[in-house]
């Protein structure tokens, strides 16, 4: 065999090794992609739950603001009623 033929044979062997490595790497990537897709659905459910909780917390904030004003008005009305009761002697 000539040196050129040896070089070609060596390159063919290296190319075959590279092709095997590339195939193995491609299979690993496909496996990881399948795992990522399998994990996406539960994670999306968690994100949706947090978004729902965020909306619920906003509603509770609104209810808290309403309750604050209702308590102020109630306290004022109660104070006025007590004052009126004391003045009228009842």
- CA pair distance 8, 15, nearest whole angstrom: 10
To which residue do tokens 């496909």 refer? 30
Per residue in 64-75, pLDDT tens? 999 999 999 999
Q: Inform me whether the pLDDT recorded for 89 exceeds 80.
A: no
To which residue do tokens 């109630």 refer? 74
Per residue in 11-66, pLDDT tens? 899 998 898 999 999 999 999 999 988 888 888 888 888 988 998 899 999 999 99
Q: How far is CA 77 from CA 2, 56, 70, 89, in A?
A: 109, 31, 10, 18
């Amino acid at each position: 065999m000539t040196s050129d033929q040896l070089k070609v044979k060596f390159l063919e062997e290296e190319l075959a090794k590279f092709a095997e490595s590339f195939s193995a790497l491609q299979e690993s990537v496909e496996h990881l992609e399948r795992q990522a897709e399998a994990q996406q659905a539960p994670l999306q459910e968690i994100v949706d739950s947090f978004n729902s909780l965020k909306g619920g917390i906003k509603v509770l904030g609104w209810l808290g603001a309403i309750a604050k004003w209702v308590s102020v008005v109630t306290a004022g009305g109660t104070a006025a009623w007590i004052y009126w009761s004391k003045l009228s002697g009842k």
